[in-house]
C-alpha cells in the first residue's frame, strides 16, 4: 500500500473508526446535525455547556472512517475546553488538513493523526464535518449543517 | 475513423479498442488507469476527439441561417447528426429527435411541455423506486406546480420492479409513466416493453430514461413502443453537454414549446409568434452543433464496433465480475436482478464506500462511491451509500482483477 494511504489510515484513525469514543446521545443539551450530501455522511453532535465550558460532548451517526474518527477524536480533544478554545482549535485543525501536502504537519496532539488528509483534498470535508456540526451546536443553531 | 474489426468468432477485439481511447494509456498514482466509472461518464475514442477538432477547425458556423458555405457545411453536419441518432434509436423520422443537453434536460423538457399541456390537479405521474434524481425531481416540480401526485412503483430486494404493483398504480388518473431502462445504481434492465404495453392499455404514455442503456444494448424505440426516450451523449462515448430526446411525432406536435428564442419560430411579430415545425420547435437558440456532430461520431464508432458484440462482451465481464466479487468475504452485491447490464454495485462490511473509493484510486482503479443520485433507492436498500464499478466496451478481465486485488487492500486496512 502507498505511503500516503498509510498516512491517512493510521492505526489511531482505524481504532477510532472501529471503536468511536463518546458515541452516544446526550439528553438535555444542545445538538446539531451535520450532513455531507456528496457521500451521505450524517452525524449528530451533542453538547453540554456550563457557562462557556464544554462539560460533555458526544456524537452519533454514520459515515466513512475519516469522518467517524475525526468526530471521535474531536470529542476527546474539546471536552473541558471553552467554546472559544474549541473554535480556535477548529481553525488550527482546518489549517492542518488543508495545508499543502509537502508541508510538515502541525502538532495538534492526537488530532495530528488526521494530518494525512492533506494529501487527499477530496476527503477534507469528511474530516471537517464533525467540527462544523460542533460549531453549529455551540452556537445553538437549530438547523442542519451541510458541507455544501 | 479508427473502426475496429471484430476479432473473429463474434468476439470483440478489446486490445484494439483500447488503442482507440487515448486516456486509457495513462497511469494514475503510478498504476495503469483502470477506469470503472463508466456509468458516470464514458471515455472518448480518438474518432470522436478528431471529429470535434475537425468540426471546429473546418466547419464551424451557425446553423440554419447563413447563405455562406460554412453555414451550409455546419447545417449539413448537424442535420446528419440528427439522422445518425434517429437511426441509432430506430425512430421513424428525424423530426422526432430533439437535441438537448442530456437525459436530464430531455426529462425536464417533457415534464414542462407535456406536463403543462396535460397534467392537472389530482392527476398522477408514475415513476419507480430505482429512479435517478433526474427522473424524480422534474416530476416533483411538475406535481408541485399542478397539484398532481407522484406514485412510486416498488421493487424487490434483488432490484426488480414489482410489475403487479405497477399495474395497480395505473388508474384513470395516471397521465404519464416515467421509468429507467437500466438502473444506474443497480444495473437492472427493466422490462420496458411490458411496462409500455400495460400503460398503453390504459392510454397512458411512457417516458423511458435510456441514459444507462444506449451504450450497452441495442435500443429500438419503435419495438419498445415508448412515447419518449432520452439519453446523454457523454455516457455513450460522446461529448458532454449533448443528448437527445425521442418523442412520438403526434405528441411532440401537440405539446407547447419548451424554451422561446431563435430557431424555434417561423415568424415573430410583437402581436404573435408562430412556432417552427418539428424538431426546431423544441430547439431554441444556437444548439450545441459541435456536440451533436461529436455524438454522431461516437454513435458511428459504436455501431462500427457492433453493439451486439459490445453487449456480449460486457455481459461476459459482468458474469466474471459478479463471480469474483462474490468470493470476497463480507462483500454484498446491491442489485442482483436476473436481467442486468454492466453495473457491479456493492457494500463491504467494515469499510465505507468512500474509504473504498480512496484506496482503490491509489491503486489506479476509478469507481464511484456514494448515493449515485438515487437517495430514495439508497433508503430502500437501507444503506447510506454503495461502491459501484461500471463497465464499458474497453474494460477487460484484468480490470476486474485489479478491482478485486485493490479490494483486498481495503480489507487489509480495515481488518
**The C-alpha cell of B269 is what?**
411579430
Is B337 inside a domain boundary?
Answer: yes
Given this model, what pLDDT does residue A148 score? 66
Is B3 inside a domain boundary?
Answer: no
CA distance B227 to chain A (A): 33
Among chain A residues, CA nearest to B387: A39
Catalytic residue among B143, B226, B373, B374: B373
Return the CATH architecture of domain A3-146. Answer: Alpha-Beta Complex (3.90)
Query: Cell 404573435 maps to which residue?
Result: B272
* ipTM, two decimals: 0.91
A62/B384 Cβ within 8 A? yes
Is B254 inside a domain boundary?
Answer: yes
Looking at the structure, tell me whether residues B80 and B186 fall in a common domain: yes
CATH at B316: 3.90.1150.10
Domain termination residue (choose one: B303, B322, B339): B303
**Spatial distance between the Cα atoms of B107 and B352, rounded to a whole number of angstroms:** 32
**Spatial distance between the Cα atoms of B408 and A15, rounded to a whole number of angstroms:** 19
CA distance B137 to chain A (A): 16
CA distance A121 to chain B (A): 11
Looking at the structure, tell me whether residues B76 and B189 fall in a common domain: yes
A109: contact with B, CB 8 A cutoff = no
**Spatial distance between the Cα atoms of A133 and A147, rounded to a whole number of angstroms:** 10
Given this model, what pLDDT does residue B363 score? 97
Q: B144 Cβ partners below 8 Å, 6+ apart? A: none
DSSP state of B28: E
Looking at the structure, tell me whether residues B249 and B375 fall in a common domain: no
Looking at the structure, tell me whether residues B321 and B192 fall in a common domain: no
Name the residue among B30, B354, B359 with its Cβ closest to that of A39. Answer: B354
What is chain A's Cα-based Rg?
14
CB pairs under 8 A between A and B: 57
Is B8 inside a domain boundary?
Answer: no
On chain A, the residues whose CB falls within 8 A of the CB of B370 are 38-40
* Residues in chain B where the model's pLDDT stays below 70: 1-9
Is B4 inside a domain boundary?
Answer: no
Among chain B residues, CA nearest to A68: B352
Looking at the structure, tell me whether residues B296 and B161 fall in a common domain: yes
A4/B362 Cβ within 8 A? yes
A8: contact with B, CB 8 A cutoff = yes
CATH at B262: 3.40.640.10
Name the residue among A5, A39, A64 with its Cβ closest to that of B362. Answer: A5
Looking at the structure, tell me whether residues B296 and B280 fall in a common domain: yes
* Residues in chain A where the model's pLDDT stays below 70: 1, 141-144, 147-148
On chain B, the residues whose CB falls within 8 A of the CB of A62 are 384
Domain boundaries, chain A: 3-146
On chain B, the residues whose CB falls within 8 A of the CB of A122 are 358
pTM: 0.94
- State whether the Cα torsion B409-B30-B347-B355 is positive or negative: positive
Domain termination residue (choose one: B303, B330, B355): B303
Looking at the structure, tell me whether residues B199 and B278 fall in a common domain: yes
Is B204 inside a domain boundary?
Answer: yes
Is B1 inside a domain boundary?
Answer: no
**A32 forms bridges with which residues in the sheet?**
A45
**The C-alpha cell of B77 is what?**
453536419
CB B88 within 8 A of CB B222: no
Name the residue among A38, A64, A120 with its Cβ closest to that of B352. Answer: A64
If one counts every other C-beta atom within 10 angstroms of the C-beta of residue B95, the result is: 18
Given this model, what pLDDT does residue A144 score? 67
Looking at the structure, tell me whether residues B99 and B182 fall in a common domain: yes
Q: What is the mean pLDDT of chain A?
A: 91
By residue range, what is the domain housing residue B355? 14-41+306-413
Closest Cα to residue A8, out of B389, B329, B29, B36?
B29
Query: Cell 453536419 maps to which residue?
Result: B77
Looking at the structure, tell me whether residues B326 and B298 fall in a common domain: no
CA distance B357 to chain A (A): 11
Given this model, what pLDDT does residue B7 score? 46
Q: B271 Cβ partners below 8 Å, 6+ apart? A: none
Give catalytic status of residue B373 as yes or no: yes
Looking at the structure, tell me whether residues B285 and B390 fall in a common domain: no
A8/B414 Cβ within 8 A? no
Burial of B346 (0-12, 13-18, 19+ CB in 10 A): buried
* Contact map slice: A 19-58 vs B, CB within 8 A: 38-42
Among chain B residues, CA nearest to A41: B384
Looking at the structure, tell me whether residues B244 and B330 fall in a common domain: no
Looking at the structure, tell me whether residues B29 and B118 fall in a common domain: no
**Spatial distance between the Cα atoms of B68 and B58, rounded to a whole number of angstroms:** 14
Task: Please give the tally of structural domains in chain B.
Answer: 2
Domain termination residue (choose one: B303, B319, B339): B303
Amino acid at each position: 500500500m502507498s505511503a500516503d494511504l498509510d498516512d491517512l489510515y493510521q492505526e489511531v484513525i482505524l481504532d477510532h473508526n472501529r471503536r468511536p469514543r463518546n458515541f452516544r446521545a446526550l439528553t438535555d443539551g444542545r445538538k446539531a446535525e451535520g450532513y455531507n450530501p456528496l457521500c451521505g455522511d450524517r452525524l449528530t453532535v451533542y453538547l453540554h455547556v456550563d457557562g462557556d465550558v464544554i462539560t460533555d460532548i458526544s456524537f452519533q451517526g454514520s459515515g466513512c472512517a475519516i469522518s467517524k474518527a475525526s468526530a471521535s477524536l474531536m470529542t476527546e480533544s474539546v471536552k473541558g475546553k471553552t467554546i472559544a478554545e474549541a473554535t480556535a482549535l477548529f481553525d488550527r485543525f482546518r489549517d492542518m488538513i488543508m495545508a499543502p501536502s509537502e508541508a510538515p504537519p502541525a502538532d495538534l496532539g492526537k488530532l495530528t493523526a488526521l494530518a494525512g488528509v492533506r494529501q487527499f483534498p477530496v476527503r477534507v470535508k469528511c474530516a471537517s464535518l464533525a467540527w462544523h456540526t460542533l460549531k453549529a451546536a455551540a452556537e445553538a443553531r437549530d438547523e442542519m449543517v451541510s458541507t455544501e | 475513423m479508427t473502426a475496429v474489426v471484430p476479432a473473429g468468432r463474434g468476439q470483440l477485439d478489446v486490445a484494439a479498442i483500447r488503442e482507440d481511447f487515448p486516456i486509457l494509456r495513462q497511469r494514475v498514482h503510478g498504476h495503469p488507469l483502470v477506469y470503472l466509472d463508466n456509468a458516470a461518464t464514458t471515455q472518448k475514442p480518438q474518432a470522436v476527439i478528431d471529429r470535434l477538432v475537425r468540426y471546429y477547425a473546418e466547419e464551424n458556423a451557425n446553423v440554419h441561417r447563413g447563405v455562406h458555405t460554412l453555414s451550409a457545411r455546419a447545417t449539413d453536419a448537424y442535420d446528419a447528426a440528427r439522422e445518425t441518432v434517429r437511426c441509432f434509436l430506430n425512430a421513424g423520422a428525424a423530426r422526432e429527435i430533439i437535441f438537448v443537453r442530456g437525459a436530464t434536460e430531455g426529462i425536464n423538457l417533457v415534464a414542462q411541455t407535456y406536463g403543462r399541456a396535460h397534467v392537472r390537479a389530482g392527476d398522477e405521474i408514475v415513476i419507480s423506486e430505482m429512479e435517478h434524481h433526474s427522473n424524480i425531481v422534474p416530476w416533483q416540480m411538475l406535481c408541485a406546480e399542478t397539484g398532481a401526485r407522484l406514485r412510486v412503483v416498488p421493487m424487490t430486494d434483488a432490484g426488480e420492479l414489482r410489475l403487479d404493483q405497477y399495474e395497480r398504480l395505473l388508474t384513470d388518473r395516471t397521465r404519464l409513466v416515467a421509468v429507467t431502462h437500466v438502473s444506474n445504481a443497480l444495473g437492472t434492465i427493466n422490462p420496458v416493453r411490458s411496462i409500455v404495453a400495460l400503460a398503453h392499455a390504459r392510454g397512458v404514455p411512457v417516458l423511458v430514461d435510456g441514459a444507462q442503456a444506449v451504450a450497452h444494448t441495442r435500443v429500438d424505440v419503435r419495438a419498445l413502443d415508448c412515447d419518449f426516450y432520452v439519453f446523454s451523449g457523454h455516457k455513450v462515448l460522446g461529448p458532454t453537454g449533448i443528448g437527445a430526446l425521442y418523442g412520438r411525432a403526434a405528441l411532440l406536435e401537440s405539446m407547447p414549446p419548451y424554451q422561446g428564442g431563435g430557431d424555434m419560430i417561423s415568424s415573430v411579430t410583437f402581436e404573435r409568434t408562430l412556432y417552427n415545425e418539428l424538431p426546431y420547435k423544441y430547439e431554441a437558440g444556437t444548439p450545441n452543433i459541435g456536440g451533436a456532430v461529436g455524438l454522431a461520431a461516437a454513435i458511428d464508432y459504436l455501431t462500427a464496433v457492433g453493439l451486439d458484440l459490445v453487449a456480449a462482451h460486457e455481459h461476459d465481464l459482468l458474469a466474471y465480475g459478479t463471480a469474483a466479487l462474490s468470493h470476497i468475504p463480507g462483500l454484498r452485491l446491491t442489485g442482483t436482478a436476473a436481467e442486468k447490464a454492466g453495473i457491479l454495485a456493492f457494500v463491504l462490511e467494515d469499510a465505507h464506500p468512500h474509504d473504498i473509493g480512496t484506496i482503490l484510486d491509489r491503486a489506479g482503479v476509478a469507481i464511484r462511491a456514494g448515493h449515485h443520485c438515487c437517495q430514495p433507492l439508497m433508503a430502500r436498500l437501507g444503506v447510506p451509500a454503495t461502491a459501484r464499478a461500471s463497465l464499458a466496451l474497453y474494460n477487460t478481465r484484468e480490470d476486474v482483477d485489479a478491482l478485486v486485488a485493490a479490494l483486498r487492500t481495503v480489507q487489509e486496512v480495515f481488518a
